[in-house]
């Protein structure tokens, strides 16, 4: 049985994918839309067609071997990008303009009990591209950023931060849901290729529909130190992204439910108030508050939500 780490590279092979016909049960679910989903469809004017799970290897380019970084051009059509943004606004009561920037605004879980067929199709497509099973991942998380200072620095996801988590991250997929006039790119300061906010590769800039995949673990499951990454501040415009984090083991159901409840502002550790009182929110913001792809452990005590 090949390992998850071994399978993770198979997406580079030119594999043909077949399209499975929708079952009658799936058709029934489509007819039983919730009021929340109907509101999203009204906002968009039309509902995007559910795309197949087929991926096109010719659209994938490898940006780096250490860390392993890949970019998929046009992974999402514009309609699906707009759908995720609109669904996120609906789930949060359209609060994205009120103190929600620089924070995760919602999680979109597409398990059978909370089915949204568009989000489910996107997650299946991510797994088809990466050859990483959905069961090893946290829910798709939509985030919104904007109105940031050019000199502002953002959460480096370092090996120290990875070790602080209960489970080791294996890989991260970032979906760019919007174009950004200036800023908002992803950088890898410790990678061998030049990467900083002033001189960033065109492939790492936020282009609507593109997807970025990078591995945060080596083949032996040890942390890949060169995968330290950060998000450049959004200087002009606004940025919408969706992130998908894969771990080396299946994600426990109770942890998934925690990520799904975006309306709660809680701490994950009883020591958070004490840590916050001695300045850990400022000294260790990655672990305490979080980054675009890591939900901080002490967001409540750090007044980050």
- Spell out the domain ranges in the chain: 57-246, 258-304
Element (H, E) at 239: strand 238-247
CA distance linking residue 81 with residue 171, whole number of Å = 21
Query: Can you give the pLDDT at residue 108?
Result: 55
Does the domain at residues 57-246 carry the CATH identifier 2.60.120.620?
yes
Residue with more model confidence, 195 or 66: 66
pLDDT tens column, 73-108 = 999 999 999 999 988 887 766 554 444 444 444 455
Read off the pTM.
0.63
Element (H, E) at 247: strand 238-247
Tokens 């061998």 belong to residue: 192
Q: What HEC string does 254-279 produce?
A: HHHHHHHCCCCCCCCCCCHHHHHHCC
Residue with more model confidence, 37 or 42: 37
pLDDT tens column, 163-192 = 444 456 889 999 999 999 888 888 887 777
- Average pLDDT in the 230-254 region? 82
Query: Can you give the pLDDT at residue 291?
Result: 66
Angle separating helix axes 117-130 and 78-91, nearest 10 degrees: 120
Residue with more model confidence, 273 or 5: 273
Range with the largest mean pLDDT of 40-44, 65-69, 108-112, 161-165: 65-69
């Amino acid at each position: 049985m090949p390992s998850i780490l071994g399978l993770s590279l198979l997406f580079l092979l030119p594999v043909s994918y077949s399209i499975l016909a929708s079952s009658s049960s799936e058709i029934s679910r489509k007819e039983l839309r919730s009021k929340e989903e109907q509101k999203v469809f009204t906002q968009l004017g039309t509902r995007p067609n559910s795309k197949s799970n087929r991926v096109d290897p010719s659209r994938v380019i490898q940006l780096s071997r250490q860390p392993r970084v890949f970019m998929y051009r046009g992974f999402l059509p514009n309609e699906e990008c707009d759908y995720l943004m609109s669904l996120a606004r609906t789930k949060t009561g359209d609060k994205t303009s009120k103190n929600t920037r620089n924070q995760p605004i919602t999680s979109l879980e597409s398990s059978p009990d909370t089915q949204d067929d568009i989000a489910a199709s996107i997650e299946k497509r991510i797994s088809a591209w990466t050859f990483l099973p959905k069961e090893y991942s946290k829910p798709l998380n939509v985030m919104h950023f904007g109105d940031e200072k050019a000199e502002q620095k953002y959460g480096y996801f370092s090996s120290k931060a990875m070790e602080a988590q209960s489970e080791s991250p294996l890989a991260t997929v970032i979906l760019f849901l919007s174009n950004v006039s200036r800023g908002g790119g992803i950088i890898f300061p410790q990678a061998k290729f030049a990467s900083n906010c002033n001189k960033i590769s065109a492939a790492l800039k936020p282009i609507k529909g593109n997807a970025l995949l990078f591995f945060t673990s080596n083949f032996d499951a040890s942390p890949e130190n060169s995968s330290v990454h950060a998000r450049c501040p959004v200087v002009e415009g606004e940025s919408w992204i969706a992130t998908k984090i894969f771990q080396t083991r299946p994600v426990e159901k109770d942890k998934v439910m925690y990520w799904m409840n975006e309306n709660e502002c809680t701490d994950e550790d009883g020591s958070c108030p004490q840590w916050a009182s001695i300045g850990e929110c400022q000294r260790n913001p990655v672990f305490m508050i979080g980054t675009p792809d890591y939900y901080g452990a002490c967001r409540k005590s750090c007044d980050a939500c």
